[in-house]
Amino acid sequence: QVQFVESGGGLVQPGGSLRLSCAASASNLDSTTIGWFRQAPGKERGGVSCINWVDGRTEYVNSVKGRFTISRDNVKNTVSLQMNNLRPGDTGVYYCGTTRRCGRGLVEASMYNIWGQGTQVTVSS
């Protein structure tokens, strides 16, 4: 099972931007869809965005549409999440993982994910 190492989090004011990155341990990610997930304090981990490794199709949950952009680098085996116009509600620990559903507004994690440490994003004034 592929594993990921996340980076790029930090403290930012509302309206600010951050760029997250995750590096995959596997060299062959074909037939894989990779997503970003976040866990806010006291809440369950939920999907944010996902991308198909082969064709680059993307999906976003409604709360981040128009603000976040997911991308992948097939050479470096990395997936990035550009987050703009950040809000306090975006605060949480962000993780990368494979998905079992990516589309029609759904970003659902695979049950086989081995979660990394994630990267903390705090949006506060």
User: For 58-103, what is each residue's pLDDT tens digit?
Assistant: 999 999 999 999 999 988 999 999 999 999 999 999 999 999 999 9
The pLDDT of residue 101? 93
Return the SS3 of 119: strand
The pLDDT of residue 64? 97
The pLDDT of residue 30? 78
Residue 60 token pair: 């976003």
The pLDDT of residue 20? 98
pLDDT tens-digit series, residues 23-61: 998 767 777 899 999 999 999 999 999 999 999 999 999
Going from the C-alpha of 104 to that of each of 9, 58, 108, the distances in angstroms are 28, 10, 11
Strands 18-24 and 4-7: antiparallel
Return the SS3 of 64: helix
